[in-house]
Amino acid sequence: MQNARATGSGRRSGIAALLAALLLPGQPHAENRVNAGTPPERQVYFGDLHVHTTYSNDSFGYNNDRTPDVAYRYAKGEPVATVGGATIQLRTPLDFLAVTDHAEYLGIFSAMTAPEHPLNPTELGRQASSSDVATRYAAFGTFIRALRSGEFPEGFYDPANTLSVWRQIVETADAHYEPGRFTAFAGYEWTSTVQGGNMHRNVIFEGSADLPLPFAASDSRNPEDLWTWLERQRMRGVDAIAIPHNSNVSDGRMFALTDSFGEPIDAAYAARRTWNEPLVEITQQKGTSETHPALSPTDEFADFELFTELLISGGTPGKVSGSYVREAWLNGVRLQAEAGFNPFQFGVIGSSDNHSGTSAVEEGNYTGSRGPASDGTPALRQPTELWGGLPRQSFSAAGLTAVWAEENTRESLFAAMRRRETYGTTGTHLRVRLFAGWELPMDLHERAEREALGYARGVPMGGVLEGPARGRSPTIVVWAARDPEGANLDRIQIIKGWTANGAVHERIHDVALSDPARRRSDGSVTPVGNTVDVPGARHTNTIGSAELAAAWTDPDFDPTQPAFYYVRVIEIPTPRWTTFDAAALGVPPLDLVPATLQERAFTSPVWYLPAGQAGTARQP
Amino acid sequence: MHDVLARLLRDPLTHFLALGGIVFALWAALDTAPADNPAGTVSAAPVSVPDSRDILIDAAEQRLLTAYFTAQWRRLPTEAEFRELLDARIREEVLMREALALGLDRGDRVIRQRLAQKLEMTLREVAALETPTEAELAAFHARHRDRYALPPRISLTHRFVSARQHGDAAAARAAALLHALQSGDDVSADPFHAPGILLAETPDRLARVFGNTFRDAVLAAIQDGQPIGRWTGPVASPWGIHVVRIDDYQPGRQRGFAESRAAVEQDWREDAQAAAEVRRIELMRRRYRVEIAPFDPATERLQ
């Protein structure tokens, strides 16, 4: 467990290869498929690429018995039973889902509840099999201590069980995959923690044929080794990407400027990272990783659903620098200018990371992230006792992945993720689309053929705009529409990051406001207001706009310096999930979290690269 | 004495051997015993002791020993190690049989729970082996017809008038647009964030693209006999007003048994497994006369 370069992984991959030969579920029949459209006909699909079931040992410890089958049914909008006998159901079903259970000792607790399992008669097996919640949670405590000490009970690593659980996960994804209607991805979580810093990645496979056994953090804790494994899989025709998450609790490691061995990042590292990790999860139940007030002191929206204490640390705050997405993008363009490569040229998504088997991300229909411990009734979510060092109220009802794709199939969605035509939301289904280019008409957003023109003359979110600029500045045209069952929009912002003379800079431009009169003469903006009736947990769409759009040309463009632009769309204030629960119980909301919040979307950036630099940043 | 018991408990093979025979004997008895026979053929006495003085370590058993070793050490045992495994196994078997003969299993809560749990698991597994007849499946399909229904499919073309762009004039503009389209002029409208033509979408997907209000209005129009291929409107969405042409409508329908047989069988197995477990336990319970001695927990003193 100590060093990632342990020889154990070689031996293990031998076993894995052997077992993998047994894993051959086929692709489901594509009967519902609709012909793929052209890029302008792409639609936005919403989903969750990060849900845990009973096969994740922590989730099992939270008394969650839900299987991947339940997770997919819930995502499709079917009712799911709670322990208390009630049912829970999404109001707006999802278009796609990936179950991503922790690969480390996958499903071992669930397995050891079977009397014939070798670990069943042990103390750990007794705890795991207990019907008492606290005893079952104690099994998870033992597991965490073992993870730390590296000393596991004999038989804890059980390749036969890993194979059977993994096989079930993949087969369940196949069974729920209805091309054109609902996409189920096979995936898992690589759960590497380095000195308390969260380095976790979700691995999402494009297909389901010939899948290997998961490469786990117990094989190696270094992302470089995960990439090597992913590259090897691609050589045998199995494509997958890794999506880092919770950089906010990585203690500055997720976006560090050194590799796992303390060496400065180089061009080869940047190329491998960009190809293997085209996306990062920017928001989820354990907080939003966009930026932090300490990094972005002038950003009035930076202090949003932060989660800063390192996991299972008893409340130790992590290092801020190196832990947030915007700063990584900034360091990326700085390295681009200084060294000619960008290790952080990634797009963004949101997902839930719920450990309940349920993608519950709707504030007004939130049922917690911990299964039976939280999803029965609002009263279960009231106590302020700590979950991993934090009150449960500080967990967020977030987030979702939005993908612009031709059709709702594995291939189409995966290709969109590869080209970063994605954005993350904090749970809202708001729509946002953007194009950047040198020759985009300033009324593009009002034209009927805006998408066709956008693709023909520009690049969508996630794209790269290359020089030479020939004396022009890039134009970004963006439009957004509210969630049809959600709240109106407050504003659209374009956030620019660039580098000059070795320093990095960021500036936020409010490009579209619900009411132009809100813009003051000094350029600042009057807040949109707040319609929330806190005791009743209601808002009204009497402020804000259902749609917003803008065309914007960068007024401070320097063609010699690389830069990035991304869009943030902010909704009007709505009640936070804690406020809905308080209203249901007829009690005032706890003041340890805000009563209202402004849901939002973050797009993948568009990068500008001066002429001659584009080549080095292109994907290998 | 406690060590012996602890050892016993630690080894799953003990359970496998000691319980396996009993469980299957019980199962056989259960299958043949009429439900109304309260006596049954199985005694409620504790685990019985095999009379035989023979210990057979068969090939399957040796394979299992090897598998445990390999899972732990990631390699096959050497010859010497394998001999040790066998020795340990024989020693354990001897101790186990002697312990059973001494009745050490009786009155032990852990053993009791483990036995109950083991049988529960077996009931579930055996239920999973049951094969339904076609008639049973057809009856299941008939009982759960809704599970196998296919949703309606709607293809539509729409033109959008944006409230953002036209404000209060949007309604008049939409009326003019509808009139023009009905007269055969294909006039352009405002851009919308989803395609202008949607093919074979379910009502559920229409709601996700246009909102619940729009979906409901379109379904109501179809219900009211809106002709296919003719423009109609206005249909409101959260973002403005749409003028809509239904290009095709395939009503939802029930899938017949033959068409949904695979899904029916899967669901039947899930249901059958759960039901069989409940039923078998209930059947077994009926063979016992339960007597509960008078006792008031409230009189107990807390320690």
CB contacts of B237 in chain A (<8 Å) are: 484
Within a domain: residue A460? yes
Residue A148 pLDDT grade (very low, low, confident, very high; cuts 50, 70, 90): confident
CB pair distance less than 8 Å for A154 and B72: yes
Distance CA A568, CA A494 (A): 6
Question: What is the overall mean pLDDT for chain A?
Answer: 89
Contact A114 B211 (CB under 8 A): no
**Token pair belonging to A289:** 């990783």
Residue A134 forms contact with B (CB below 8 Å)? no
Q: pLDDT (tens digit, 9 = 90+) per residue, A248-261?
A: 999 999 999 999 99
Judge contact between A205 and A186, C-beta under 8 A.
Answer: yes
CA of A176: which chain B residue's CA is closest?
A: B263
Of A43, A446, A485, the CB nearest to B191: A446
ipTM of predicted assembly, 2 dp: 0.85
pLDDT at A310: 80
Minimum distance, in Å, between the CA of residue B28 and any CA atom of chain A: 21
Residue carrying the six token digits 């008394």: A63
Residues of chain B in Cβ contact (below 8 Å) with chain A: 9-12, 15-16, 67-68, 71-72, 74, 110, 114, 117-118, 121, 162-165, 188-191, 193-195, 199-200, 202, 204-205, 207-214, 237-240
Q: Which of A106-110, A492-496, B85-89, B119-123 has the lowest mean pLDDT?
A: B119-123
Say if the Cβ atoms of A120 and B12 lie within 8 Å.
Answer: yes
Instruction: For residue A41, give the DSSP letter.
Output: G
Cα A563 to Cα A144: distance, rounded to the nearest angstrom: 42
Which chain A positions have a beta carbon within 8 Å of B213's beta carbon?
A: 484
Q: Contacts of residue A450 in chain B, CB cutoff 8 Å?
A: 191
Q: Which amino acid is at B281?
A: I
pLDDT tens profile A463-515:
999 988 888 999 999 999 999 999 999 999 999 999 998 999 999 999 999 99
H or E segment to which residue A267 belongs: helix A267-276
**CA dihedral in degrees (A33, A34, A38, A44; nearest 10)?**
-80
pLDDT at B18 (0 to 100): 45
Reported confidence tier of residue A606, pLDDT bands at 50, 70, 90: very high
Residue of B nearest to A13 (CA): B74
Overall average pLDDT of the A3-25 stretch: 37
**Subunit contact B114:A115, Cβ cutoff 8 A:** yes
Q: Quick check: is A257 in a domain? A: no
Position of tokens 């580098």? A499
Q: Would you say the C-alpha torsion A586, A588, A594, A595 has a positive or negative sign?
A: positive
Cα(A1)–Cα(A390) distance, integer angstroms: 28
Say which of A43, A114, A545 has its CB closest to residue B164: A545
With CB atoms and an 8 Å threshold, state whether A433 touches B193: yes
Cα-based distances in Å from A257 to A74, A261, A327, A430, B288: 40, 11, 11, 34, 71
Q: Do A155 and B72 touch (CB under 8 A)?
A: yes
- Three-state SS at A107: coil
DSSP, res A430: -
Q: Considering only CA atoms, give the Rg of chain A.
A: 23
| Dihedrals phi, psi of A150, to nearest 5 degrees | 80, 5
C-alpha torsion sign, points A224, A228, A229, A231: positive
Handedness of CA A348, A97, A275, A14 (dihedral sign): positive
What is the Cα–Cα distance from B214 to B236, expressed in whole angstroms? 6
Compare CB distances from A115 to B117, B200, B212 and report the shortest one's residue. Answer: B117
The shortest CB-CB distance from B195 to any of A43, A431, A482 is to A43
Residue B25 pLDDT greater than 90, yes or no: no
Contacts of A77 in chain B (CB under 8 A): 204
Contact between A121 and B15 using a beta-carbon 8 Å cutoff = yes
Q: Does the CB of A485 have a partner CB in chain B at under 8 Å?
A: yes
What is the per-residue pLDDT across A197-217, written as a single tens digit (0 to 9) for each? 999 999 999 999 999 999 999
Across the interface, of B193, B195, B212, the residue whose CB is closest to A481 is: B193
Q: Are A542 and A585 in contact (CB under 8 A)?
A: no
Q: Please tell me what DSSP assigns to residue B196.
A: S
Determine the 3-state secondary structure of B184 from DSSP: coil
pLDDT of residue B251: 94
Residue A182 gets which letter from DSSP? B
Q: Residue A601: beta bridge partners?
A: A425, A569
Determine the pLDDT at residue A32.
Answer: 39
Tally C-beta pairs within 8 A across A and B.
Answer: 101
Asked if residue A571 belongs to a domain, the reply is yes
In whole angstroms, what is the distance from residue A178 CA to residue A314 CA? 43
pLDDT at residue A241, as a whole number:
98
Give per-residue pLDDT as tens, A261-317.
999 999 999 999 999 999 999 999 999 999 999 999 999 999 999 998 887 776 788
Cβ of B212 within 8 Å of Cβ of A181? The answer is no
Whether A549 and chain B come into contact, CB under 8 Å, resolves to: yes
Which of B75, B193, B199, B273 to mutate: most A Cβ within 10 Å?
Answer: B193
**Among candidates A15, A448, A547 on the partner chain, residue whose Cβ is nearest the Cβ of B239:** A547
Residue A102 forms part of a structural domain: no
- Residues 6+ positions from A508 with CB-CB distance below 8 Å: A298, A299, A493, A494, A495, A496, A568
Indicate the Cα dihedral angle B93, B97, B99, B105, nearest 10°: 100
Number of structural domains found in chain A: 1
- Candidates A426, A545, A416, A551; CA nearest to A479 is A551
- Does residue A452 belong to any structural domain of this protein? yes
Express as a percent the part of chain A with pLDDT over 70.
92
Mean pLDDT of A377-382: 85
Structure confidence at residue A3 as a pLDDT band (50, 70, 90): very low
What is the mean pLDDT of the segment spanning A150-160? 81
- Does the residue A153 lie in any domain? no
C-alpha to C-alpha distance for A69 and A46, rounded to whole angstroms: 19
Q: What percent of chain B has pLDDT over 70?
A: 81
Q: Does A18 touch chain B (CB under 8 A)?
A: no
pLDDT of residue A11: 38
Instruction: State the pLDDT at residue A592.
Output: 86
Listed range (A77-86, A386-395, A406-415, A592-601) with the worst mean pLDDT: A386-395
Question: Could you tell me if A440 and A551 are in contact, meaning their C-beta atoms sit under 8 angstroms apart?
Answer: yes
Identify the domain containing residue A595 by its residue range.
430-617
The reply to whether residue B193 touches residue A479, judged by beta carbons under 8 angstroms, is yes
Cα dihedral across residues A288, A294, A299, A301: positive or negative: positive
Distance separating alpha carbons of residues A407 and B180, to the nearest angstrom = 32
A612 interfacial to chain B (CB closer than 8 Å): no
Q: How big is the CA angle at A70 (ends A69 and A76), to the nearest 5 degrees?
A: 95
Classify strands A347-350 and B253-254 as parallel, antiparallel or unpaired: unpaired
Say whether A155 and B68 touch across the interface (CB within 8 A). yes
Cβ-nearest to A116 among B16, B67, B199: B16
Q: How many CA atoms lie within 13 A of B109 on its CB side?
A: 1
The helix/strand/coil state of A515 is coil
Which amino acid type is present at position A116? E
**Model pLDDT for residues B151-179, shown as the tens digit of each residue:** 999 999 999 999 999 999 999 999 999 99
Number of CB atoms found within 10 A of residue A155's CB: 17
- Closest Cβ–Cβ partner in B74, B163, B200 for A34: B200
Band (pLDDT 50/70/90 cuts) for residue B27 is very low
Token pair belonging to B120: 């529960």
Selection from A606-620, B68-82, B229-243 with the highest mean pLDDT:
B229-243
Query: CA distances (Å), A189 to each of A53, A222, A491, in order?
Result: 12, 14, 35
* B71 to A129: CB separation less than 8 angstroms, yes or no: no
Would the pLDDT of B103 be above 60?
yes
Residue corresponding to tokens 């199962």: B27
Under the banding of pLDDT at 50, 70 and 90, the label for residue B41 is: very low
Q: Count CA within 13 A, CB hemisphere, residue A130.
A: 18
Residue B276: per-residue pLDDT: 76
Cβ-Cβ contacts under 8 Å, B200 against chain A: 34
Q: Residue A556: its pLDDT value, please?
A: 94
Nearest to A433 by CA among A537, A529, A548, A321: A548
Indicate whether A456 belongs to any domain.
yes
Mark yes or no for CB contact A95/B74 under 8 Å.
no
Neighbours of A37 (CB within 10 A): 16
Please name the residue of chain A whose CA is at the shortest distance from the CA of residue B114.
Answer: A115
| A407 in a structural domain | no
Average pLDDT value for residue range A351-368: 95
Please count the other Cβ atoms lying within 10 Å of the Cβ belonging to residue B151.
Answer: 15
Residue A441 gets which letter from DSSP?
-
What are the structural domains of chain B?
Answer: 2-129 (no CATH), 152-251 (3.10.50.40)
Residues of chain A with Cβ-Cβ distance to B194 below 8 Å are: 43-44
| Cβ neighbours of A34 in B, within 8 Å | 199-200
Q: Is A79 in the B-facing interface, judged by CB distances under 8 Å?
A: no
CA of A536 vs chain B CAs: smallest distance (Å): 23
Out of A129, A159, A549, closest to residue B71 by CB: A159
Q: What is the DSSP string of A352-409?
A: --BSSS-----GGG---SSGGGTSS-GGGG----EETTEEGGGS----EEEEEESSSS
Does the structure show a pLDDT above 50 at A527?
A: yes
How far A120 CA lies from chain B's nearest CA (Å)? 8
A93/B contact by beta carbon, under 8 A? yes
User: What are the distances in angstroms from CA B100 to CA A528, B27, B47?
Assistant: 78, 22, 8
Residue ranges of alpha helices (H) inside B194-244 are: 203-210, 212-223
Contact A484 B237 (CB under 8 A): yes
Which among B115, B162, B186, B208 is the top mutation candidate for probing chain A, defined by the most A β-carbons within 10 Å of its own β-carbon?
B208
Distance CA B119, CA B30 (A): 12
User: How far apart are the CA of A460 and the nearest CA of chain B, in angstroms?
Assistant: 14
Query: Is some CB atom of chain B closer than 8 A to the CB atom of A403?
Result: no
Helix (H) or strand (E) holding B181: helix B170-182
